[in-house]
């Protein structure tokens, strides 16, 4: 059986060397929005390990959208040298460089996870005139531990769309080839989609079509300014805790497809409660794969599966059974940044080290020829199971 995990994928004119994607993950390492050495090392290491596409964390085109003071910014040109360094490092190791654009809306302005995600009043890194104001579709706080946001006016929404446009232009200048819009996890676009956060009575609230309007306008604006030959992804919460259904997601996905979205990255939750990866939300092995499968079937669009995908054979099975087109891996990549190379060995791919730089390719290839005395040559299993 031919591996699909290791079959390249062409999206518009971008070739991804395999179907393995590093899921977007905030590193909480930016200083005043700026890229630090840690980012280049971290993203370079993930590209070096053989991933097809490395998706850089949720990066903010508007300072008000920053979740924490340690989020990456793209709201001004001064951020470009650092972002360009990340993109070129990823590409130099053969992976496609992608970036996610996010806006946290009413969930913005908190301290970083290991400092308790506490509400904050100010951002130490903002220049004079830049504000860190909580904004959302309606004046409804995310929960008791969050402050109440200001409801966006229609002219604020117009300015936000201009902000997305400016961010897309910078993403292009920085050299990224895949762009993902973050519309999941209870952040701004999801807030517009959900009646839990959106109780507007104008053209942006009320019926499902009106609640989808902001998200679709973002995609329209982004697609107008993101080159035709480059793929556009969106991450959605395909279901959430406040009653959003997979059928609604599929209806949204059909509209997104008409507007030039290539891949729907199917996550879930986040419109109420704490972090989507907290222990209050215990998850199971592959828990979101059925969402990717349903959106793919109902909306006839490519999907990316994510969430506790740990093993090579698990990832391969998801693709072989037509549940998704791409596999995103988050925390397991933090555990093992060489996951793709390791997965290739485990799946018996010929020349499994071909995707990593020559140093690794040469010496690990030679080592694989050694006599392992019946033990596995890969790190997870020392003694073959009976």
Ligand X SMILES: Cc1cc2nc3c(=O)[nH]c(=O)nc-3n(C[C@H](O)[C@H](O)[C@H](O)COP(=O)(O)O)c2cc1C
Catalytic residues: 187
Which residues are CB-neighbours of 299 under 8 A, at least 6 positions away? 249, 250, 251, 253, 254, 257, 264
3-state secondary structure of 257: helix
Residue with tokens 């992804």: 233
- Which of these segments, 130-138, 304-312, 344-352, 354-362, binds ligand X (CB under 6 A)? 304-312
54 φ, ψ (degrees, to nearest 5): -110, 115
Residue 110 contacts ligand X per CB under 6 A: no
Residue 308 contacts ligand X per CB under 6 A: yes
Specify the residue, 331 or 375, whose C-beta has the smaller distance to ligand X: 331
3-state secondary structure of 326: strand
Contact 166, 160 (CB under 8 A): no
Residue 332 contacts ligand X per CB under 6 A: yes
> Residue with the closest Cβ to ligand X?
330
Contact 246, 239 (CB under 8 A): yes
Specify the residue, 26 or 126, whose C-beta has the smaller distance to ligand X: 26
User: By CB under 6 A, what part of segment 235-274 binds ligand X?
Assistant: 235, 267
CB 236, min distance to ligand X, A: 10
- Which of these segments, 4-12, 170-178, 248-256, 330-338, binds ligand X (CB under 6 A)? 330-338
- Rounded to whole angstroms, what are the CA distances from 101 to 12, 81, 134? 20, 17, 18
Specify the residue, 205 or 246, whose C-beta has the smaller distance to ligand X: 246
Contact 55, 180 (CB under 8 A): yes
Closest alpha carbon to 59 in 79, 78, 88? 79
Which residues are CB-neighbours of 184 under 8 A, at least 6 positions away? 190, 235, 236, 237, 265, 267, 268, 270
Specify the residue, 200 or 326, whose C-beta has the smaller distance to ligand X: 326
Contact residue for ligand X among 330, 337, 340, 352 (CB under 6 A): 330
Instruction: State how far Cα 209 lies from the chain centre.
Output: 25
3-state secondary structure of 78: helix
Closest alpha carbon to 292 in 310, 314, 265? 265
Q: Which two tokens stand for residue 198?
A: 């959106």
Specify the residue, 85 or 182, whose C-beta has the smaller distance to ligand X: 182
Contact residue for ligand X among 103, 182, 296, 323 (CB under 6 A): 182
User: By CB under 6 A, what part of segment 43-102 binds ligand X?
Assistant: 57-58, 100
Specify the residue, 285 or 363, whose C-beta has the smaller distance to ligand X: 285
Contact residue for ligand X among 5, 11, 21, 26 (CB under 6 A): 26
Residue 331 contacts ligand X per CB under 6 A: yes
CB 273, min distance to ligand X, A: 15
Residue 324 contacts ligand X per CB under 6 A: no
Residue 303 contacts ligand X per CB under 6 A: no
Closest alpha carbon to 340 in 90, 96, 22? 22
Specify the residue, 20 or 23, whose C-beta has the smaller distance to ligand X: 23
Specify the residue, 57 or 293, whose C-beta has the smaller distance to ligand X: 57
Residue 103 contacts ligand X per CB under 6 A: no
277 φ, ψ (degrees, to nearest 5): -115, 30
CB 113, min distance to ligand X, A: 7
CB 150, min distance to ligand X, A: 24
Residue 138 contacts ligand X per CB under 6 A: no
Contact residue for ligand X among 4, 5, 11, 23 (CB under 6 A): 23
Question: How is 192-203 classified by DSSP, letter by letter?
Answer: HH-TTT----ST
Query: How many CB atoms lie under 10 A from the CB of residue 44?
Result: 20
Residue with tokens 């924490």: 68
Residue 130 contacts ligand X per CB under 6 A: no
What is the C-alpha to C-alpha distance for residues 96 and 152, in angstroms, rounded to an integer? 35
CB 109, min distance to ligand X, A: 16
Contact residue for ligand X among 307, 337, 340, 352 (CB under 6 A): 307
3-state secondary structure of 100: strand
CB 170, min distance to ligand X, A: 18
Which residues of this protein are in contact with ligand X, per CB under 6 A? 23-26, 57-58, 100, 182, 184-185, 235, 267, 277, 306-309, 329-332
């Amino acid at each position: 059986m031919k591996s699909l995990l290791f079959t390249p994928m062409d999206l518009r004119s971008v070739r991804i060397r395999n179907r393995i994607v590093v899921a977007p993950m905030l590193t909480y390492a930016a200083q005043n929005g700026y890229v630090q050495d840690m980012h280049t090392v971290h993203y370079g290491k993930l590209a070096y390990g053989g991933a097809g596409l490395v998706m850089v964390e949720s990066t903010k085109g508007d300072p008000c959208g920053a979740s924490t003071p340690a989020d990456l910014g793209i709201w001004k040109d001064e951020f470009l040298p650092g972002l360009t360094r990340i993109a070129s490092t990823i590409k130099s190791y053969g992976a496609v460089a992608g970036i996610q654009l996010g806006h946290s809306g009413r969930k913005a302005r908190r301290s970083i996870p290991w400092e308790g995600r506490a509400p904050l009043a100010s951002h130490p890194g903002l220049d004079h005139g830049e504000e860190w104001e909580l904004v959302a579709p309606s004046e409804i706080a995310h929960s008791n531990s969050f402050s109440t946001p200001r409801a966006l006016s229609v002219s604020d929404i117009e300015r936000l769309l201009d902000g997305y446009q400016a961010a897309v232009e910078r993403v292009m200048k920085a050299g990224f080839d895949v762009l993902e819009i973050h519309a999941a996890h209870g952040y701004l676009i999801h807030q517009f989609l959900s009646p839990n956060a959106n109780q507007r009575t104008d053209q942006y609230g009320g019926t499902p079509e009106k609640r989808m309007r902001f998200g679709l306008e973002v995609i329209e604006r982004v697609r107008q300014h993101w080159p035709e030959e480059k793929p556009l992804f969106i991450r959605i919460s395909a279901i959430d805790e406040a009653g959003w259904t997979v059928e609604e997601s599929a209806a949204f996905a059909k509209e997104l497809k008409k507007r030039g979205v290539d891949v729907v990255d199917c996550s879930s939750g986040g419109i109420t409660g704490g972090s989507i990866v907290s222990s209050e939300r215990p998850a199971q092995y592959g828990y979101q794969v059925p969402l990717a499968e349903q959106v793919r079937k109902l909306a006839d669009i490519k999907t990316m599966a994510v969430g506790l995908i740990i093993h090579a054979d698990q990832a391969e099975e998801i693709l072989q059974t037509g549940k998704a087109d791409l596999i995103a891996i988050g925390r397991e990549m933090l555990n093992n940044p060489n996951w793709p190379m390791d997965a290739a060995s485990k799946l018996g791919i010929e020349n499994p080290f071909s995707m990593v730089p020559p140093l690794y390719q040469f010496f690990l290839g030679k080592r694989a020829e050694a006599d392992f005395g019946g033990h596995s040559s890969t790190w997870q299993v020392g003694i073959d199971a009976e």
